[in-house]
Amino acid sequence: MYQGVMFDMDQTLVASNLNFAEMRAGCFRILKEAKIHVPAAYGEAPPPASLIELARSYEINEGFSGLVEKMFSWVARCEAEGMKEAVAEPGALETVSALKGKVPMTVVTNNASASARKALDTTQLAPYIDFVIGRDDMNALKPAASGIEAVLEAYPHIEPSAWVMVGDSWIDGKAANEAGVPFVSYCASDLETNGVETAHTIDHLTELIQMTARKEV
C-alpha cells in the first residue's frame, strides 16, 4: 500500500485543451531567433519543457539572457487559452474524494503554479489537493526530478518508495524514476523509448484507490 500520491495535472487530473504543438513551435521559434541549434537527439517533437531546459542551459553556460523568460511568457499564453474549458478527468473527483484524509495528495506540474491552482479551483479539485508544485517552484522542469524532490522534502516522514507519481507522459515517469518514486502510467506513451520504468499501469484513476494505504495520515 502506498502512503502518498503525486499527480501530474494536464490530462491526468485535469482534461484541458492545451495545444502542445503550438507551445512547442513557439519555443522552437525563440531558440531559432537566438541561433541555437536543437540537437537531433531531441527528436522532431520534444516536450516544450525539454526546449525550455535547453534554453536554460545556454543561459547558464553560454551567457544568453532572456530566453527562458520569453518561453515562459509564450507558454503562459498557451496555458491560459488551453485552460478555458478545462474539466476534471473522468474519475478524478471520485478518486481524490475517496483518498482525502487517508494519504497526502500533491500536484507536480510544469504549468505555472498560479495557472495550476486556478485550474484545480475551476474543476473543483482544489479542496482535495494538499500541495501544488508548479514550474515556479522547480529548479528544472520535468523530466528532471526537482518538483518531485520538493514534495519529498515537504513530507520527510514518507520514503520515496512509499509514494506514487501518476502521469500521462514519459516526462512524469522519468522524473519519478530519477527521484526513486514508483511511477503509475495513466494512458502514457513513449515510455520504453525514453527508458521509463513503470510500477503500475492504469486505465482509470479510480484504480489508485486500491493502491493506497487505508489508515488515516
Domain of 163?
4-16+85-211
- On whether both 112 and 197 belong to a single domain, the answer is yes
The last residue of a domain, from among 32, 59, 82: 82
- On whether both 11 and 31 belong to a single domain, the answer is no
CA distances from 39 to 57, 144, 185 (A): 13, 18, 28
Sheet containing strand 200-202, edge to edge, reads 131-133, 105-108, 4-7, 163-167, 183-186, 200-202
Instruction: List Cβ<8 Å contacts ≥24 apart for 96-100.
Output: 96/13, 96/125, 96/128, 96/129, 97/128, 98/206, 98/209, 99/5, 99/128, 99/208, 99/209, 99/212, 100/127, 100/128
Calculate mean pLDDT across residues 25-33: 98
The structural domain count of the chain equals 2
The 8-class DSSP code of residue 39 comes to P
Indicate the pLDDT class of residue 202, thresholds 50, 70 and 90.
Answer: very high
- On whether both 96 and 186 belong to a single domain, the answer is yes
**Domain of 177: which CATH number?**
3.40.50.1000
* Predicted confidence (pLDDT) per residue in 35-49, tens digit: 999 999 999 999 999
- On whether both 67 and 109 belong to a single domain, the answer is no
The last residue of a domain, from among 47, 63, 82: 82
- On whether both 52 and 116 belong to a single domain, the answer is no
- On whether both 39 and 67 belong to a single domain, the answer is yes
* Predicted confidence (pLDDT) per residue in 10-26, tens digit: 999 999 988 999 999 99
- On whether both 68 and 118 belong to a single domain, the answer is no
Indicate the pLDDT class of residue 83, thresholds 50, 70 and 90.
Answer: confident
Alpha-carbon distance of 43 to 126, in angstroms, equals 36
Alpha-carbon distance of 95 to 170, in angstroms, equals 22
What's the confidence (pLDDT) of residue 129? 99
* Predicted confidence (pLDDT) per residue in 181-190, tens digit: 999 999 998 9
- On whether both 181 and 200 belong to a single domain, the answer is yes
The last residue of a domain, from among 82, 97, 128: 82
- On whether both 207 and 133 belong to a single domain, the answer is yes
- On whether both 134 and 72 belong to a single domain, the answer is no
Instruction: Share the mean pLDDT of the chain.
Output: 95
Determine the residue type at 126.
A
